[in-house]
Amino acid sequence: MSIANLRKDYQLASLSETDVAADPIEQFAHWFEQALKADAAEANAMSLATVNAEGRPSSRIVLIKEFNQNGFSWFTNYDSSKGHDLAANPHAALLFFWSALERQVRIEGRIEKVSEQDNDSYFHSRPLGSRRSACASQQSQPIANRDLLEQRLDEVTSEHGDHPPRPQHWGGYRLVPDRLEFWQGRSSRLHDRIVYTRGSDGLWTITRLQP
């Protein structure tokens, strides 16, 4: 079969302006809960798109760790490629895709770092192996081979045992949204698209977009 002929006709649900919550975070929470109940694969996974100082875009999958009225948060190495991008251009876009529900959510906004207290709290809640790896890896930097990486992990284990400290270059980011789009697949590509846009007064406007 030709790749051009690969397609799926979406028929599971619909989305109307009269159905959605007035607040987009409340609407996201509703959809996220439904994704969890549907056992959607990696429901907490999102694509994070950044742009570097030269205007070159880049994207990767990260895991959301918290969302609330303040925004959407995740953790990483501040010295990674995405960290450098966000230092140069503190704006980003997130994308959740829940194929089991034929839905996606697109989120755009400005970036801020979470507090040092939040960094420490989350870091020490991680599994021991993940904490050791955060100390051992210089994320996004070249390394000659896997053996050297595992050697560095052994050094961290030997030095810190079961209590590796949080590296100062490791922490969280929060995307403070000003635009969220809720996309529900519909038959014949006539998809439902409901967008929330935050005004200068902080209030949200709801608009339907054509597919």
Is 82 labelled as part of a ligand binding site? Answer: yes
> CA 202 to CA 210: how far, in whole Å?
25
Is 39 labelled as part of a ligand binding site? Answer: no
Is 62 labelled as part of a ligand binding site? Answer: yes
DSSP character at residue 53: T
Is 194 labelled as part of a ligand binding site? Answer: no
> CA 128 to CA 165: how far, in whole Å?
11
Is 210 labelled as part of a ligand binding site? Answer: no
> CA 149 to CA 155: how far, in whole Å?
10
DSSP character at residue 54: T
CB 111 within 8 A of CB 168: no
Is 111 labelled as part of a ligand binding site? Answer: no
Strands (E), the chain: 45-51, 57-63, 66-68, 71-77, 91-98, 103-113, 170-184, 192-198, 204-209
Is 193 labelled as part of a ligand binding site? Answer: yes
Catalytic residues: 189
Is 78 labelled as part of a ligand binding site? Answer: no
> CA 165 to CA 136: how far, in whole Å?
11
Is 2 labelled as part of a ligand binding site? Answer: no
Known binding-site residues for substrate equal 7-10, 65, 122, 126, 130, 189-191
Known binding-site residues equal 7-10, 60-65, 75-76, 82, 104, 122, 126, 130, 139-140, 183, 189-191, 193
Known binding-site residues for FMN equal 60-65, 75-76, 82, 104, 139-140, 183, 193
